[in-house]
Chain A
């Protein structure tokens, strides 16, 4: 008994020693980092993420870690998939205590809390995916450390969905299935409402954006009984869980002319839909996997952003960290909307994919350099964003 106890105690002590040694290793790394900082500080940016799997999320990450990090004296530190407001706050606090200069957010459990926490710790904050609603923007636009948001506005999301619906209506589809992704996530609600409007249908008797999204938020889903119009929506599913596969199969059995998704279908359903020869559409990103779905599968419509579309947000943050906190003409945090690009065949997809791939992103070093600097103004940023 005693011997065994001794043995175990020695093991435990060895464990503690190992942890201490690891701590030593940590110091070594840090010392190197600090040495480089003593010359000219490398900018450290924490990135809050909720999705680590989606094609869009992977594209964004590759752009920051493989292109921006190579070309600028900056380090990106990604969180794990954040699930709640507490996770987000804790992540920001950890970044702040590590002396990070800024936070870029791709996570939206509680944006208000994120901004307030960054303000409290004096860390610059920017939104790269999704935008604040009007009320929230009004509340936080004057915060000192909130540098801004650049991404599709809610109206743009609605228009993206609408364009998808219109495209398929013009193709002559008579019945479709819709995947609402993660409704009530606002961007998915706006997109889904847009799809219905684009198909020429009404939801609860209206095709007005605000009228539709108000009802969808209330219903927490698309209620098929509320859809009226020429194009029949034969099936609707949302989320991803135990019954998703059954729901997808039930939808396929209704033989829709097209499967219209407002996000993540390329991740979850590409194989099954292609196998069943059902053409599908999605709002995502121009990535290799999606190119494969368009080339070899049945993806026929993709509204997407460039993976480098988050470049201007990086520029905003860099400027702020370097002392040039850019404000709009009213002196508020920057808020710019970005549109979607649409590919309906391999050629058009390739056009966007190839031009935004690897070492030659749309927002390459040259174009970003034009909006990073002490003399850069809001107009410079706005002009560049609107030109792409």
Chain B
């Protein structure tokens, strides 16, 4: 085998490593659950419900990350969208209107971020930090005012009852992922986004308008936020101030765990969030079951972080440079 072929093979191996990791984690998870004589069917449902919202929101976020920037406010946007959705439902009792508001809120929040970033030339990560504070604060204000003695706001569980099944959620996830995959892999938009992320200067010189694609990327992420908010409500039809609070940062983990470079560009992968999101949740649940002590949550986090770094280290082996990366 020639040296070139060997290199190609090893690159391919590394590229599929996140998927291999997901499969291995899944097998280990099933083994661990079975060995402890826990209910595997129930535990699988738990992992799915934990991961699906993250996977959906993070898949939308891939478009933003591909451009070489990131959005830290997506968790807060999900909370904000869910809050507005519940408020609208409680005022109108219309499920259609609620769903419309969920998506609209997600898209508007995202658009606002992109406008601040592209029109006012503010670094996207700073605008999203600011938006995170604003959206969480507004949502908290609404929740605590309307929630009163209950501490949260909710819609009747019967409203979302028809949509709580895993099958329906898989369908939604598949549909959204399919659309994202098509745009990302098979359209000019997706290709140009990767180009901008890889080399913004050259992209600009070839006439590609970065602002336009920034807005499209944020809109796609906004749709993910809307869908994520809907899926959150199908799991628990109530919203508290801490709803979806961990999503914002877990998106980073999911995307990187899935084998995508945080710098975006041509090596971006649309499936990274899906693979990474489920892998990370499986890993956490495996460790949670295995480690049984009063400090288990801390130890679990340490081990999963080490595992995270190890996986990212392996998957990025082909892209090491002489200089320290920034």
Contact = CB atoms under 8 A, between A and B. Distances in A.
Touch A–B, Cβ below 8 Å:
yes
Interface of A: 1-2, 4-5, 8-9, 11-12, 15-16, 19-20, 22-27, 29-30, 34, 78, 80, 83-87, 89-90, 93-94, 96-99, 108-110, 112-113, 116, 121, 133, 136, 184-186, 189, 213, 217-218, 220
Contacts of A108: 151
B42 A97 contact: yes
A89 B236 contact: yes
Contacts of A186: 149-151
A257 to B, nearest CB: 31
Contacts of B289: 26
B243 A89 contact: no
B306 to A, nearest CB: 9
Given A80-B297, A186-B149, A217-B148, 5 more contacts: A26-B36, A83-B242, A86-B244, A97-B38, A110-B150
Contact of A83 (B6, B35, B239, B245): B245
A85 B7 contact: no
Interface residues of B, number: 58
Contacts of A133: 149-150
Contacts of B10: 1-2, 5
A19 B291 CA distance: 11
Contacts of A4: 317
A112 B238 contact: yes
A109 B307 contact: no
A15 B310 contact: yes
A26 B32 contact: yes
B6 A2 contact: yes
B37 A8 contact: no
Contacts of B7: 1
Interface of B: 6-7, 10, 13-14, 17, 21, 24, 28, 31-32, 35-39, 42-43, 45-46, 49-50, 141, 144-145, 147-152, 154, 157, 232, 235-245, 286, 288-290, 292, 294, 297, 307, 310-311, 313-314, 317
The prevalent SS among residues of B at the interface is: helix
B37 A34 contact: yes
B314 A23 contact: no
Contacts of B46: 90, 93-94, 97
Contact of B144 (A19, A87, A220): A220
Given A20-B28, A26-B32, A30-B35, A85 B238 contact: yes
A259 B148 CA distance: 26
Contacts of A23: 28, 31-32, 35, 286, 290
18 contacts: A2-B10, A4-B317, A5-B14, A5-B317, A9-B13, A12-B17, A22-B290, A23-B286, A24-B35, A78-B294, A85-B152, A89-B236, A93-B45, A97-B42, A110-B151, A110-B152, A110-B236, A112-B150
A93 to B, nearest CB: 5
Given A19-B286, A26-B32, A97-B46, A184 B238 contact: no
Contacts of B37: 30, 34, 99
A189 B37 CA distance: 44
A278 to B, nearest CB: 29
Nearest to B44: A97
A96 to B, nearest CB: 7
A8 B152 contact: no
Contacts of A136: 150
A78 B238 CA distance: 23
A174 B141 CA distance: 33
Contacts of A86: 232, 235-236, 243-244
Complex A-B, nearest 8 residue pairs according to Cβ-Cβ distance, in ascending order: A97-B42, A27-B35, A84-B242, A83-B242, A97-B39, A217-B148, A85-B236, A80-B297
A86 B234 CA distance: 11
A272 B170 CA distance: 54
Contacts of B42: 93, 96-97, 121
Contacts of B45: 93
Contact of B38 (A11, A99, A218): A99
Contacts of B24: 16
A30 B35 CA distance: 8
A19 B240 contact: no
B148 A184 contact: yes
A15 B307 contact: yes
Contacts of B43: 94, 97
Contacts of A80: 297
Given A12-B310, A97-B43, A109-B151, A90 B50 contact: yes
A22 B238 CA distance: 37
B285 to A, nearest CB: 8
Contacts of B240: 83-85, 109-110
A249 B314 CA distance: 51
Which of B148, B237, B243, B288 counts the most A-chain CB atoms under 10 A from its CB?
A: B148
Contacts of A218: 145, 148
Contacts of A98: 36, 38-39
Which of B42, B49, B157 counts the most A-chain CB atoms under 10 A from its CB?
A: B42
A121 B45 CA distance: 13
A99 B28 contact: no
Which of B141, B145, B242, B244 counts the most A-chain CB atoms under 10 A from its CB?
A: B242
Contacts of B290: 19, 22-23, 25-26
